[in-house]
Copies of this chain bind each other. A is one copy, B any other.
Amino acid sequence: MVRAGLTAERVTVAGAELADDVGLDHVTMSQVARRLGVKDASLYTHVRGLEDLRGRIALLAADEKTIRIAEATAGRAGKDALVAFANAWREYAHQHPGRYMATQTPIQIDPELAAEAPGPRRAVELTYSMLRGYGLAEPDLTDAVRLLRSTFHGFVALEAAGGFAHERSPQQSWIRALDALHTLLEHWPPFREGDSS
């Protein structure tokens, strides 16, 4: 019997494809094995188990998303960069819903594995450098990064969950949201004493 040539990476990719096809929580060891033409027990040589696989899918997605964003924002600045960044984010989520959802799982990824995945760290760096043009300084910079990430993620998550039932197209709201965020970054409110919880 010829070997299938499995790898942790090949198993992860198969899981990611399956996640995009049938939804993340229908990704099972058995299905992934079937897709690879292998018995489920064979996967455990390459992957610790289902949780580990999901963690690997999440890291794969983070890396891929980061690469897309880096390509999209290369050579751009200001609002151009903001829009390119945001659109790359959203398009990745649309194209790879299962992978994207994997990134939302409460943190339980093998730290050793996460350490060698450049995606998450690089994503934050990209966001910071995209904001360079707006002239923000710490801690406002961190706050702005978090606000942007929250809005981008929240929008696509609500979109995916069917949260935008109103007749107005999400696309239009998205464009306006980016407009709004741009002007917000240009007029970032100064910190004032006495702000309460």
Check B188–A164 contact: CB distance below 8 A.
no
Number of interface residues of A (CB under 8 A): 53
* Chain B residue nearest in CB terms to A166: B142
* Chain B residue nearest in CB terms to A123: B163
Stretch at the interface among A2-10, A32-40, A41-49, A148-156: A148-156
Number of copies: 2
Within the complex, the shortest CB–CB distance from A62 to chain B, in Å, comes to 10
From B143, B155, B164, B187, contact of A173 by CB (8 A): B143
Q: Complex: how many Å from CA A173 to CA B143?
A: 5
- Please give, as numbers and ranges, the residues of chain B lying within 8 Å of A195 by CB-CB distance: 175, 179
- Determine whether A95 belongs to the interface, using a CB cutoff of 8 Å to chain B: no
Check A157–B155 contact: CB distance below 8 A.
no
* Chain B residue nearest in CB terms to A178: B195
Check B154–A173 contact: CB distance below 8 A.
no
Within the complex, the shortest CB–CB distance from A193 to chain B, in Å, comes to 12
Check A157–B23 contact: CB distance below 8 A.
no
Check B154–A139 contact: CB distance below 8 A.
no
- Please give, as numbers and ranges, the residues of chain B lying within 8 Å of A171 by CB-CB distance: 197
If A106-B23, A188-B180, A189-B179 touch, whether A157 touches B157 (CB-CB below 8 Å) is yes
